């Protein structure tokens, strides 16, 4: 089964680089690039991608309102945030996972991007690179520390 990917990035240069990295993955077809939130929602509705690869450094972290619009346009859409900073991932993921964030790949994780595409392309619903996993666990512990006896 082919994984249809839409790339949301902030520049053509970033789009070309992500295309190079993603095109190296077997069973993946890039259906387009978008540069703004409105373009991303319109392309999602028109192209019905399976996965949105969202480049965080060039677009910023997508917000809940965008996730709601994307979910309305394509209910089965999964979103992978790439280029994330580990210290920002934790709270962000805990907030947006219920709205459709399917994973995070931290900055400099080209091999991890390939792994994420493989996992999500073969039916997986979640992929977190090791640095993102650690950041999310730490954020959860900070959130729930008042109920936990464990020291963080």
79 with 52: CB under 8 angstroms?
yes
53 with 15: CB under 8 angstroms?
no
Average pLDDT over residues 90-118: 87
d(CA 52, CA 3): 10
* Cα separations in angstroms, 74 against 16, 81, 108, 143: 25, 17, 29, 31
pLDDT at 4: 96
Token representation of residue 121:
């392309």
31 with 4: CB under 8 angstroms?
yes
Neighbour-count burial of 32, counting CB atoms closer than 10 A to its CB (0-12 exposed, 13-18 middle, 19+ buried):
middle
Domains and CATH numbers, the chain: 3-147 (3.40.50.2300)
pLDDT at 91: 75
pLDDT at 146: 59
Task: Give the SS3 label for residue 8.
Answer: strand
pTM of the prediction?
0.88
Using the structure block, give the residue that is written with the tokens 């640095």.
131
pLDDT at 81: 94
Q: State the average pLDDT for the chain.
A: 88
pLDDT tens for each residue of 121-131: 888 889 999 99
Percent residues over pLDDT 90 in the chain: 57
Give the Cα-Cα-Cα angle 143, 85, 108 (nearest 5 degrees).
Answer: 145
pLDDT tens for each residue of 35-94: 999 999 999 999 999 999 999 999 988 888 999 999 999 999 999 999 988 888 887 887
pLDDT at 92: 80
> Looking at the predicted structure, is the pLDDT value of residue 113 above 90?
yes
pLDDT at 152: 47
């Amino acid at each position: 089964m082919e994984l249809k990917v839409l790339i949301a990035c902030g520049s053509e240069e970033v789009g070309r680089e992500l295309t190079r990295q993603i095109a190296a993955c077997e069973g993946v077809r890039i259906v387009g690039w978008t540069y703004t939130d409105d373009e991303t929602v319109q392309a999602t509705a028109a192209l019905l991608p399976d996965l949105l690869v969202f480049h965080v450094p060039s677009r910023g972290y997508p917000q809940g309102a965008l996730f709601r619009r994307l979910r309305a346009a394509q209910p089965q859409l999964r979103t992978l945030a790439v280029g994330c900073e580990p210290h920002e991932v934790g709270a962000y993921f805990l907030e947006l996972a219920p709205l459709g964030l399917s994973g995070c790949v931290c900055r400099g994780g080209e091999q991890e991007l390939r792994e994420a595409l493989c996992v999500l392309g073969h039916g997986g619903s979640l992929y977190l690179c090791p640095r993102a996993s650690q950041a999310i666990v730490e954020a959860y512990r900070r959130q729930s520390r008042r109920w936990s006896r464990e020291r963080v």
